[in-house]
């Protein structure tokens, strides 16, 4: 029996890139038993449902989830993001968002570990006197010792397993003094347990400069949910483009399936045109293979994707090329 994987193609280019990712995984010799789920903005516009509870419960028994992209014009901002993506991250306790960037032409070889269940993403806050001159909007950021510590611990263990053994904390401790202090103290305390890992700290604004000017200095970077969201788009931009950026939403405690998805969105403007870059989805599937204990296949898929930033071709042609490279 193969690994039980739930597939959410989603909207826009999502189904196209996922088709290529599945083609590559199968060509790499990994057996998957897939179940497809029709979810996303298109479904929402059709019947008003986003993520029925039965589906969420069904997922708890799976080994992993692979998602293309969700989001459709015509759906108000936040509906699908909160109702599907963030609900998955919160309900399945996918507390690590692991986003690797490997791009030799820019000397980039880093992994950003983004906390994935807290920060401003929790949706704390509200609005008063909406539409009046006295309107008030608050949006809180939740940072718990438990949430920060498990994320920081994961990042230290990962850094310790890599040759350079270097970990950078990114935050904004000079302004976000409450959350920043919690992150900074937790980081320093866990660091004591990892004497072999060298550490440093960058304010997030400075990190934006360094990501562009000297990304080679980073090995593993750990940061909060929102900073991680922003920094990883930048990471994609300096690593060949967002079309190559992969991610794993991980539940390292394995109390449920982890979810793998490209960093990019549904790109409705090019949907259905066989134009989308499938490499981010293929590399996300490789992260899934790592998680499923198929590390050798994952490495083969990654090698087959090397240098794909230098080629041009349609979605399917790029998928076929990666498949062809696997057999060598």
Q: Interface residues with ligand IPM (CB under 6 A)?
A: 81, 85, 229, 263
* Residue 264: CB minimum distance to ligand IPM, A: 9
205: how many CB neighbours lie within 10 A of its CB? 12
Binding-site partner at residue 81 among Mn ion, ligand IPM, none, CB < 5 to 8 Å by type: ligand IPM
Nearest to 258 by CA among 95, 139, 104, 144: 95
Q: Which residue lies nearer to ligand IPM by CB, 156 or 211?
A: 211
Binding residues for Mn ion restricted to 207-236, rule: CB under 5 A: 229
Q: Which residue lies nearer to ligand IPM by CB, 81 or 149?
A: 81
Please say if 205 is a catalytic residue. Answer: yes
Please say if 269 is a catalytic residue. Answer: no
Which position among 44, 103, 121, 154 bears the catalytic label?
Answer: 121
Backbone angles phi, psi at 71, to 5 degrees: 135, 125
Whose tokens are 């403007």? That residue is 269
* Residue 296: CB minimum distance to ligand IPM, A: 28
Q: Residue 197, CB half-sphere, CA atoms under 13 Å: how many? A: 29
Please say if 233 is a catalytic residue. Answer: yes
* DSSP character string of 70-119: ---TTSPTTHHIIIIIIHHHHHTT--EEEEEEEEGGGTEEEEEEEE-S-B
Q: Which residue lies nearer to ligand IPM by CB, 19 or 245?
A: 245
Which position among 33, 181, 233, 269 bears the catalytic label?
Answer: 233
Q: Are 171 and 223 in contact (CB under 8 A)?
A: yes
* Residue 244: CB minimum distance to ligand IPM, A: 14
Q: Which residue lies nearer to ligand IPM by CB, 81 or 317?
A: 81
* Residue 236: CB minimum distance to ligand IPM, A: 10
Nearest residue to ligand IPM by CB is 81
Nearest to 284 by CA among 299, 305, 308, 262: 262
Please say if 290 is a catalytic residue. Answer: no
Which position among 172, 218, 219, 224 bears the catalytic label?
Answer: 172
Q: Which residues contact 137 (CB under 8 A, 6 or more apart)?
A: 125, 126, 127
Residues taking part in catalysis:
121, 172, 205, 229, 233
Positions that interact with Mn ion (CB under 5 A): 229
């Amino acid at each position: 029996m193969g690994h039980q994987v739930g597939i959410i193609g989603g909207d826009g280019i999502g189904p196209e890139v996922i088709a290529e990712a599945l083609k590559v995984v199968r060509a790499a010799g990994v057996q998957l038993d897939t179940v497809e789920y029709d979810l996303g903005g298109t479904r929402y516009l059709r019947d008003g449902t986003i993520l029925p509870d039965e589906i969420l419960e069904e997922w708890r028994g799976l080994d992993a989830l692979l998602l293309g992209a969700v989001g459709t014009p015509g759906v108000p901002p936040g509906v699908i993001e909160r109702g599907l993506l963030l609900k998955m991250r919160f309900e399945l306790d996918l507390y690590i968002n692991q986003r690797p960037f490997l791009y030799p032409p820019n000397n980039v070889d880093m992994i950003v570990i983004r906390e994935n269940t807290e920060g401003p993403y929790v949706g704390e806050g509200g609005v008063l006197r909406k539409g009046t001159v006295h309107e008030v909007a608050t949006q809180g950021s939740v940072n718990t010792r438990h949430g920060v510590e498990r994320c920081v611990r994961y990042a230290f263990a990962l850094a310790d397993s890599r040759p350079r053994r270097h970990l950078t904390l990114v935050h904004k401790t000079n302004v976000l003094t409450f959350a920043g202090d919690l992150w900074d103290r937790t980081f320093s305390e866990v660091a004591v347990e990892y004497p072999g890992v060298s550490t440093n700290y960058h304010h997030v604004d400075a990190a934006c400069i360094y990501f562009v000017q000297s990304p080679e200095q980073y090995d593993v970077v750990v940061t909060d949910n929102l900073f991680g969201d922003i920094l990883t788009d930048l990471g994609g931009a300096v690593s060949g483009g967002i079309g190559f950026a992969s991610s794993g939403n991980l539940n390292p405690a394995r109390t449920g399936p982890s979810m793998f998805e490209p960093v990019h969105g549904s790109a409705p403007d090019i949907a259905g045109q066989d134009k989308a870059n499938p490499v981010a989805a293929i590399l996300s599937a490789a992260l899934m293979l790592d998680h499923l204990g198929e590390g050798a296949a994952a490495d083969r898929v990654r090698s087959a994707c090397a240098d794909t930033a230098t080629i041009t071709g349609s979605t399917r042609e790029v998928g076929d090329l990666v498949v062809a490279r696997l057999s060598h």
